[in-house]
Amino acid sequence: MPIEEITQKVSDRYARAAATGEQMCCPTSYDLAELRSFIPDEVLKISYGCGTPAGLKTVRPGETVLDIGSGGGIDCFEASRLVGPSGHVIGLDMTDTMLEIARRNAPIVAANLGYASSNVEFRKGMADATPVDDNLIDLIISNCVINLAPDKRKVFREMFRVTKPGGRFTISDIVSDQQVPQYLVHDSQRWGDCLSGALTLADYLAGLGEAGFLGIHLATSSPWQIIDGIHFFSVTLTGYKLATPPTAPTARYATLRGPFSRVVDECGISYQRGVSQPIGPETVMLLSTPPVASYFVLSHDPISFDPSDARWCCVLPSQTPCVWRGEFALLAGPFLEVDDDDHHVYRRGEPLEICSKTLKVLATDGYAPHFAIINRAGEQVNGGEVTCSPVGGCC
Protein backbone atom coordinates (compact mmCIF):
# COMPACT_ATOMS: atom_id res chain seq x y z
CA MET A 1 0.00 0.00 0.00
CA PRO A 2 1.51 3.39 -0.97
CA ILE A 3 2.57 5.71 1.87
CA GLU A 4 0.17 8.41 0.74
CA GLU A 5 -2.73 5.95 0.87
CA ILE A 6 -1.80 4.79 4.37
CA THR A 7 -1.59 8.38 5.60
CA GLN A 8 -4.94 9.32 4.09
CA LYS A 9 -6.72 6.24 5.45
CA VAL A 10 -5.38 6.86 8.96
CA SER A 11 -6.37 10.54 8.83
CA ASP A 12 -9.84 9.70 7.55
CA ARG A 13 -10.40 7.14 10.27
CA TYR A 14 -9.40 9.51 13.07
CA ALA A 15 -11.55 12.26 11.58
CA ARG A 16 -14.48 9.85 11.54
CA ALA A 17 -13.79 8.84 15.14
CA ALA A 18 -13.77 12.48 16.22
CA ALA A 19 -17.11 13.07 14.52
CA THR A 20 -18.86 9.87 15.64
CA GLY A 21 -17.25 9.10 19.01
CA GLU A 22 -15.86 5.79 17.76
CA GLN A 23 -13.48 4.22 20.28
CA MET A 24 -9.94 3.77 18.98
CA CYS A 25 -6.92 1.91 20.35
CA CYS A 26 -6.55 2.72 24.03
CA PRO A 27 -4.55 0.07 25.93
CA THR A 28 -4.23 2.49 28.85
CA SER A 29 -6.46 5.30 30.01
CA TYR A 30 -6.26 8.78 31.48
CA ASP A 31 -7.18 10.02 34.93
CA LEU A 32 -10.21 11.82 33.58
CA ALA A 33 -11.41 12.96 37.01
CA GLU A 34 -8.45 15.30 37.37
CA LEU A 35 -8.33 16.41 33.73
CA ARG A 36 -12.05 17.21 33.67
CA SER A 37 -11.40 20.04 36.13
CA PHE A 38 -9.92 22.14 33.31
CA ILE A 39 -10.33 20.27 29.99
CA PRO A 40 -13.78 20.23 28.29
CA ASP A 41 -15.56 16.92 27.70
CA GLU A 42 -15.46 17.50 23.94
CA VAL A 43 -11.70 16.92 24.12
CA LEU A 44 -11.76 14.11 26.67
CA LYS A 45 -14.19 11.93 24.74
CA ILE A 46 -11.93 11.80 21.65
CA SER A 47 -8.65 11.20 23.49
CA TYR A 48 -6.88 8.09 22.24
CA GLY A 49 -3.53 6.72 23.25
CA CYS A 50 -1.43 4.04 24.89
CA GLY A 51 0.09 6.13 27.70
CA THR A 52 0.07 9.57 29.29
CA PRO A 53 3.50 11.08 28.71
CA ALA A 54 2.58 14.55 29.95
CA GLY A 55 0.95 12.96 33.00
CA LEU A 56 4.27 11.32 33.91
CA LYS A 57 5.37 14.67 35.28
CA THR A 58 8.21 14.96 32.80
CA VAL A 59 7.14 18.50 31.94
CA ARG A 60 8.90 21.37 33.71
CA PRO A 61 7.71 24.98 34.26
CA GLY A 62 8.69 27.43 31.51
CA GLU A 63 9.58 24.78 28.93
CA THR A 64 8.65 24.59 25.26
CA VAL A 65 6.86 21.30 24.59
CA LEU A 66 5.98 19.65 21.26
CA ASP A 67 3.19 17.06 21.11
CA ILE A 68 3.43 14.91 17.96
CA GLY A 69 -0.07 13.78 17.00
CA SER A 70 -1.91 16.10 19.36
CA GLY A 71 -5.41 15.05 18.29
CA GLY A 72 -8.07 16.85 20.28
CA GLY A 73 -5.36 18.39 22.47
CA ILE A 74 -5.58 16.46 25.76
CA ASP A 75 -1.82 16.05 26.26
CA CYS A 76 -1.15 19.61 25.07
CA PHE A 77 -3.60 20.97 27.62
CA GLU A 78 -2.07 18.89 30.42
CA ALA A 79 1.37 20.12 29.33
CA SER A 80 0.00 23.68 29.29
CA ARG A 81 -0.91 23.33 32.95
CA LEU A 82 2.50 21.91 33.84
CA VAL A 83 4.70 24.42 31.95
CA GLY A 84 2.69 27.30 33.39
CA PRO A 85 1.92 30.64 31.71
CA SER A 86 5.62 31.27 30.97
CA GLY A 87 5.92 28.04 28.95
CA HIS A 88 4.77 27.24 25.44
CA VAL A 89 3.15 24.15 23.91
CA ILE A 90 2.94 23.22 20.21
CA GLY A 91 0.47 20.57 19.08
CA LEU A 92 1.08 18.90 15.71
CA ASP A 93 -1.62 16.94 13.89
CA MET A 94 -2.54 16.06 10.30
CA THR A 95 -6.32 15.79 10.75
CA ASP A 96 -8.40 18.95 10.23
CA THR A 97 -11.27 17.74 12.40
CA MET A 98 -8.96 17.17 15.36
CA LEU A 99 -7.23 20.52 14.88
CA GLU A 100 -10.57 22.32 14.78
CA ILE A 101 -11.65 20.78 18.09
CA ALA A 102 -8.31 21.50 19.75
CA ARG A 103 -8.16 25.11 18.61
CA ARG A 104 -11.76 25.74 19.68
CA ASN A 105 -11.03 24.52 23.19
CA ALA A 106 -7.62 26.17 23.72
CA PRO A 107 -9.02 29.50 25.04
CA ILE A 108 -11.45 27.62 27.29
CA VAL A 109 -8.60 25.64 28.86
CA ALA A 110 -6.53 28.81 29.30
CA ALA A 111 -9.42 30.50 31.10
CA ASN A 112 -9.95 27.46 33.32
CA LEU A 113 -6.25 27.55 34.25
CA GLY A 114 -6.41 31.27 35.00
CA TYR A 115 -4.09 32.27 32.15
CA ALA A 116 -4.47 35.67 30.47
CA SER A 117 -4.14 33.94 27.09
CA SER A 118 -3.51 30.45 25.81
CA ASN A 119 0.07 29.21 25.76
CA VAL A 120 -0.86 26.42 23.30
CA GLU A 121 -0.86 26.57 19.50
CA PHE A 122 -1.88 23.83 17.08
CA ARG A 123 -0.13 23.36 13.74
CA LYS A 124 -1.15 21.16 10.83
CA GLY A 125 1.64 18.94 9.59
CA MET A 126 3.22 15.52 9.39
CA ALA A 127 5.49 13.95 11.97
CA ASP A 128 8.11 13.21 9.31
CA ALA A 129 8.18 16.85 8.14
CA THR A 130 7.66 18.77 11.38
CA PRO A 131 6.86 22.49 10.89
CA VAL A 132 9.10 23.51 13.81
CA ASP A 133 12.47 25.31 13.81
CA ASP A 134 15.72 23.56 14.66
CA ASN A 135 16.80 23.25 18.31
CA LEU A 136 13.61 24.82 19.68
CA ILE A 137 11.99 22.14 21.84
CA ASP A 138 12.81 21.24 25.44
CA LEU A 139 10.54 18.20 25.53
CA ILE A 140 8.78 16.12 22.87
CA ILE A 141 5.77 14.07 23.88
CA SER A 142 3.71 11.74 21.72
CA ASN A 143 0.93 9.35 22.62
CA CYS A 144 0.48 6.28 20.40
CA VAL A 145 1.01 8.19 17.13
CA ILE A 146 4.47 7.47 15.73
CA ASN A 147 3.46 3.87 14.97
CA LEU A 148 0.97 5.37 12.48
CA ALA A 149 3.78 7.02 10.47
CA PRO A 150 5.01 4.89 7.53
CA ASP A 151 8.62 6.19 7.79
CA LYS A 152 9.40 6.19 11.50
CA ARG A 153 13.13 6.72 11.13
CA LYS A 154 12.40 9.99 9.37
CA VAL A 155 10.15 10.93 12.31
CA PHE A 156 12.97 10.16 14.76
CA ARG A 157 15.38 12.33 12.74
CA GLU A 158 12.87 15.19 12.79
CA MET A 159 12.48 14.79 16.54
CA PHE A 160 16.23 15.09 17.00
CA ARG A 161 16.42 18.12 14.70
CA VAL A 162 13.84 20.19 16.58
CA THR A 163 15.06 19.22 20.09
CA LYS A 164 17.37 21.62 21.90
CA PRO A 165 20.79 20.36 22.98
CA GLY A 166 20.07 19.16 26.50
CA GLY A 167 16.43 18.47 25.57
CA ARG A 168 14.61 15.16 25.72
CA PHE A 169 11.57 13.17 24.67
CA THR A 170 8.99 11.12 26.54
CA ILE A 171 6.84 9.19 24.09
CA SER A 172 4.31 6.37 24.39
CA ASP A 173 3.78 3.92 21.55
CA ILE A 174 2.82 0.40 20.53
CA VAL A 175 5.65 -2.00 19.66
CA SER A 176 5.80 -5.72 18.92
CA ASP A 177 8.00 -8.61 19.99
CA GLN A 178 8.55 -9.75 16.39
CA GLN A 179 8.31 -8.26 12.93
CA VAL A 180 4.78 -7.61 11.70
CA PRO A 181 4.11 -9.77 8.59
CA GLN A 182 3.14 -8.27 5.26
CA TYR A 183 -0.49 -9.38 5.39
CA LEU A 184 -0.93 -7.12 8.46
CA VAL A 185 1.29 -4.34 7.10
CA HIS A 186 -1.08 -3.98 4.13
CA ASP A 187 -4.29 -4.18 6.20
CA SER A 188 -5.62 -0.60 6.29
CA GLN A 189 -7.98 -1.38 9.19
CA ARG A 190 -5.06 -2.60 11.31
CA TRP A 191 -3.14 0.63 10.67
CA GLY A 192 -5.84 2.58 12.51
CA ASP A 193 -5.73 -0.01 15.30
CA CYS A 194 -2.02 0.80 15.87
CA LEU A 195 -1.02 -2.70 14.75
CA SER A 196 0.18 -2.72 11.14
CA GLY A 197 2.70 0.06 11.64
CA ALA A 198 4.23 -1.24 14.86
CA LEU A 199 7.99 -1.71 14.89
CA THR A 200 9.66 -4.34 17.01
CA LEU A 201 11.00 -2.90 20.25
CA ALA A 202 14.54 -3.53 18.96
CA ASP A 203 13.92 -1.56 15.74
CA TYR A 204 12.15 1.24 17.58
CA LEU A 205 15.04 1.72 20.02
CA ALA A 206 17.60 1.41 17.22
CA GLY A 207 15.82 4.09 15.19
CA LEU A 208 15.89 6.53 18.08
CA GLY A 209 19.57 5.81 18.64
CA GLU A 210 20.44 6.22 14.96
CA ALA A 211 18.74 9.62 14.99
CA GLY A 212 21.21 10.74 17.68
CA PHE A 213 19.34 10.30 20.96
CA LEU A 214 21.17 8.79 23.93
CA GLY A 215 20.20 7.64 27.40
CA ILE A 216 17.12 5.95 25.91
CA HIS A 217 15.29 4.05 28.61
CA LEU A 218 11.95 2.56 29.57
CA ALA A 219 9.53 4.50 31.76
CA THR A 220 6.58 2.09 31.69
CA SER A 221 5.33 -0.89 29.71
CA SER A 222 2.09 -2.85 29.58
CA PRO A 223 0.70 -5.66 27.40
CA TRP A 224 -2.00 -4.89 24.87
CA GLN A 225 -2.97 -7.52 22.30
CA ILE A 226 -1.77 -10.80 20.82
CA ILE A 227 -2.56 -11.15 17.13
CA ASP A 228 -1.58 -14.40 15.35
CA GLY A 229 1.11 -15.05 17.95
CA ILE A 230 2.58 -11.55 17.76
CA HIS A 231 2.67 -9.69 21.08
CA PHE A 232 1.84 -6.00 20.85
CA PHE A 233 2.57 -3.95 23.94
CA SER A 234 2.69 -0.33 25.01
CA VAL A 235 5.95 1.31 26.04
CA THR A 236 6.75 4.79 27.29
CA LEU A 237 10.33 5.77 26.52
CA THR A 238 12.56 8.70 27.44
CA GLY A 239 15.81 9.78 25.78
CA TYR A 240 18.08 12.81 25.49
CA LYS A 241 19.79 15.05 22.95
CA LEU A 242 22.93 15.65 24.95
CA ALA A 243 24.31 19.16 25.28
CA THR A 244 27.85 19.99 24.16
CA PRO A 245 30.17 18.44 26.77
CA PRO A 246 32.52 20.68 28.75
CA THR A 247 36.14 20.78 27.60
CA ALA A 248 37.33 19.91 31.10
CA PRO A 249 35.23 16.93 32.30
CA THR A 250 34.58 16.52 36.00
CA ALA A 251 35.39 12.80 35.77
CA ARG A 252 37.69 10.63 33.71
CA TYR A 253 36.75 7.15 34.91
CA ALA A 254 33.52 5.22 35.36
CA THR A 255 33.10 2.16 37.58
CA LEU A 256 30.00 -0.01 37.26
CA ARG A 257 28.25 -0.68 40.57
CA GLY A 258 25.77 -3.31 39.33
CA PRO A 259 23.45 -5.13 39.69
CA PHE A 260 24.50 -6.00 36.12
CA SER A 261 27.83 -7.80 36.02
CA ARG A 262 28.62 -6.18 32.66
CA VAL A 263 27.02 -3.51 30.51
CA VAL A 264 27.69 -1.95 27.11
CA ASP A 265 26.65 1.72 26.90
CA GLU A 266 25.19 3.44 23.82
CA CYS A 267 28.67 4.64 22.81
CA GLY A 268 29.80 1.01 22.62
CA ILE A 269 31.97 1.08 25.76
CA SER A 270 31.92 -2.09 27.87
CA TYR A 271 32.12 -1.97 31.69
CA GLN A 272 32.77 -4.79 34.18
CA ARG A 273 31.35 -4.38 37.66
CA GLY A 274 33.88 -2.95 40.11
CA VAL A 275 36.51 -2.13 37.46
CA SER A 276 37.26 1.46 36.37
CA GLN A 277 36.95 2.27 32.69
CA PRO A 278 38.45 5.47 31.15
CA ILE A 279 35.80 7.66 29.50
CA GLY A 280 35.65 10.89 27.49
CA PRO A 281 33.58 14.07 28.04
CA GLU A 282 30.54 12.91 26.03
CA THR A 283 30.41 9.63 27.94
CA VAL A 284 30.63 11.52 31.25
CA MET A 285 27.49 13.40 30.22
CA LEU A 286 25.75 10.19 29.12
CA LEU A 287 26.56 8.37 32.36
CA SER A 288 25.33 11.39 34.34
CA THR A 289 21.80 11.21 32.92
CA PRO A 290 18.98 9.51 34.81
CA PRO A 291 18.62 6.61 35.23
CA VAL A 292 22.12 5.67 34.03
CA ALA A 293 23.86 7.66 36.78
CA SER A 294 22.70 5.41 39.59
CA TYR A 295 24.61 2.45 38.12
CA PHE A 296 28.06 4.09 38.08
CA VAL A 297 30.65 5.75 40.28
CA LEU A 298 32.35 8.56 38.32
CA SER A 299 35.80 9.62 39.49
CA HIS A 300 38.83 11.65 38.46
CA ASP A 301 41.19 8.74 39.19
CA PRO A 302 40.66 4.99 38.69
CA ILE A 303 39.13 3.04 41.55
CA SER A 304 38.08 -0.55 42.10
CA PHE A 305 35.85 -2.35 44.57
CA ASP A 306 34.65 -5.86 45.31
CA PRO A 307 31.64 -7.53 46.99
CA SER A 308 32.79 -6.32 50.42
CA ASP A 309 32.32 -2.69 49.33
CA ALA A 310 28.96 -1.01 49.98
CA ARG A 311 28.97 0.34 46.41
CA TRP A 312 28.93 -3.19 44.95
CA CYS A 313 25.43 -4.25 43.89
CA CYS A 314 24.52 -7.83 42.99
CA VAL A 315 21.32 -9.89 42.75
CA LEU A 316 21.89 -13.66 42.70
CA PRO A 317 19.21 -16.20 41.78
CA SER A 318 18.10 -18.68 44.39
CA GLN A 319 19.97 -21.99 44.20
CA THR A 320 16.93 -24.13 43.49
CA PRO A 321 15.46 -25.79 40.39
CA CYS A 322 13.60 -23.55 37.97
CA VAL A 323 10.31 -23.72 36.07
CA TRP A 324 9.77 -22.58 32.48
CA ARG A 325 6.41 -20.83 32.12
CA GLY A 326 6.76 -19.05 28.77
CA GLU A 327 8.16 -15.72 29.99
CA PHE A 328 10.48 -13.67 27.79
CA ALA A 329 12.41 -10.58 28.85
CA LEU A 330 13.14 -7.61 26.56
CA LEU A 331 15.82 -5.15 27.63
CA ALA A 332 14.60 -1.60 26.85
CA GLY A 333 17.71 0.41 27.72
CA PRO A 334 19.53 2.42 28.85
CA PHE A 335 22.25 0.02 27.67
CA LEU A 336 22.83 -1.83 24.41
CA GLU A 337 23.70 -5.06 26.20
CA VAL A 338 23.84 -6.31 29.79
CA ASP A 339 24.84 -9.48 31.64
CA ASP A 340 23.33 -10.70 34.90
CA ASP A 341 25.07 -12.92 37.46
CA ASP A 342 23.57 -16.09 36.01
CA HIS A 343 25.29 -15.85 32.61
CA HIS A 344 22.32 -14.41 30.71
CA VAL A 345 23.18 -11.85 28.03
CA TYR A 346 20.35 -9.44 27.23
CA ARG A 347 20.53 -7.38 24.02
CA ARG A 348 18.37 -4.29 23.72
CA GLY A 349 14.93 -5.07 22.36
CA GLU A 350 15.57 -8.77 21.70
CA PRO A 351 13.30 -11.28 23.52
CA LEU A 352 15.17 -13.76 25.73
CA GLU A 353 13.38 -16.71 27.31
CA ILE A 354 13.74 -16.74 31.08
CA CYS A 355 12.83 -19.20 33.83
CA SER A 356 10.96 -18.59 37.07
CA LYS A 357 14.12 -17.79 39.03
CA THR A 358 15.38 -15.25 36.51
CA LEU A 359 11.94 -13.65 36.46
CA LYS A 360 12.32 -13.01 40.21
CA VAL A 361 15.76 -11.49 39.66
CA LEU A 362 14.42 -9.15 36.97
CA ALA A 363 11.63 -8.05 39.31
CA THR A 364 14.14 -6.53 41.76
CA ASP A 365 14.71 -2.77 41.91
CA GLY A 366 17.94 -2.60 39.91
CA TYR A 367 16.59 -4.67 37.01
CA ALA A 368 12.84 -4.13 36.82
CA PRO A 369 12.75 -0.56 35.40
CA HIS A 370 14.60 -1.65 32.25
CA PHE A 371 12.74 -4.78 31.17
CA ALA A 372 9.43 -5.50 29.48
CA ILE A 373 8.17 -9.01 30.24
CA ILE A 374 5.82 -10.96 27.95
CA ASN A 375 4.46 -14.51 28.17
CA ARG A 376 4.35 -16.46 24.91
CA ALA A 377 2.74 -19.59 26.32
CA GLY A 378 -0.52 -20.11 24.47
CA GLU A 379 -2.14 -22.15 27.25
CA GLN A 380 -1.50 -23.35 30.78
CA VAL A 381 2.07 -24.60 31.18
CA ASN A 382 2.36 -27.89 33.07
CA GLY A 383 6.15 -28.30 33.08
CA GLY A 384 7.78 -29.30 36.33
CA GLU A 385 10.93 -28.16 38.04
CA VAL A 386 14.18 -28.67 36.13
CA THR A 387 17.89 -28.34 36.89
CA CYS A 388 19.77 -26.70 34.02
CA SER A 389 23.34 -27.35 35.12
CA PRO A 390 25.04 -30.78 35.27
CA VAL A 391 26.57 -29.83 38.64
CA GLY A 392 23.19 -29.03 40.15
CA GLY A 393 23.12 -25.26 39.75
CA CYS A 394 20.70 -23.22 37.72
CA CYS A 395 20.39 -21.63 35.27
Which pairing describes strands 120-124 and 88-93: parallel, antiparallel, or unpaired? parallel
Q: What is the mean pLDDT of residues 277-281?
A: 94
Q: When comparing pLDDT for 332 and 29, which is higher?
A: 332
Q: What is the mean pLDDT of residues 275-301?
A: 95
At 215, the amino acid letter reads: G
In 3-state terms, what secondary structure has residue 161?
Answer: helix
Tell me: the pLDDT tens digits for 155-182?
A: 999 999 999 999 999 999 999 999 988 8
For the cut 60, the answer to whether the pLDDT of residue 82 exceeds it is yes
Domain boundaries, the chain: 3-240, 245-313, 327-375
DSSP of 270-305, one letter per residue?
EEEBTBEEE--HHHHHHHTSTTGGGGEEEESS--B-
Domain 3-240 identical in fold to domain 245-313: no
Q: What is the mean pLDDT of residues 350-358?
A: 96
Closest CA to 174 of 320, 45, 48, 278: 48
Residues 253, 27: Cα–Cα separation, whole Å = 43
Query: What pLDDT sits at residue 32?
Result: 82
For the cut 80, the answer to whether the pLDDT of residue 316 exceeds it is yes
Query: What pLDDT sits at residue 25?
Result: 56
Phi, psi dihedrals of residue 213, rounded to the nearest 5°: -75, 150
pLDDT band at 391 (very low <50, low <70, confident <90, very high): very low
Closest CA to 179 of 215, 153, 204: 204
211-236 exposure pattern, b = at least 16 Cβ within 10 A, e = fewer: bbbbbbbbbbbeebeebeebbbbbbb
User: Which CATH number applies to 245-313?
Assistant: 3.40.5
Which residues are paired to 373 by β-bridges?
329
What is the share, in percent, of the chain residues with pLDDT greater than 70?
88
Query: What pLDDT sits at residue 15?
Result: 47
Q: When comparing pLDDT for 46 and 126, which is higher?
A: 126
Q: What is the mean pLDDT of residues 241-255?
A: 87
Query: What pLDDT sits at residue 7?
Result: 54
Phi, psi dihedrals of residue 333, rounded to the nearest 5°: 90, 175
Q: Which of 92-96, 249-253, 365-369, 376-380 has the lowest mean pLDDT?
A: 376-380
For the cut 70, the answer to whether the pLDDT of residue 199 exceeds it is yes
Query: What pLDDT sits at residue 392?
Result: 45
At 18, the amino acid letter reads: A
For the cut 70, the answer to whether the pLDDT of residue 183 exceeds it is yes
Residues 372, 234: Cα–Cα separation, whole Å = 10
Q: What is the mean pLDDT of residues 353-379?
A: 94
Query: What pLDDT sits at residue 190?
Result: 63
For the cut 60, the answer to whether the pLDDT of residue 14 exceeds it is no
Task: Tell me how many degrees the CA angle 334-338-343 measures, rounded to the nearest 5.
Answer: 160
pLDDT band at 379 (very low <50, low <70, confident <90, very high): confident
Query: What pLDDT sits at residue 9?
Result: 53
SS percent in the chain: helix, strand, coil, step 5: 30, 25, 45
Q: What is the mean pLDDT of residues 348-375?
A: 96
Query: How many CB atoms sit inside 10 A of residue 14's CB?
Result: 25
Query: How many CB atoms sit inside 10 A of residue 186's CB?
Result: 12
Residues 235, 191: Cα–Cα separation, whole Å = 18
User: Which CATH number applies to 3-240?
Assistant: 3.40.50.150
pLDDT band at 26 (very low <50, low <70, confident <90, very high): low
Q: What is the mean pLDDT of residues 326-334?
A: 96
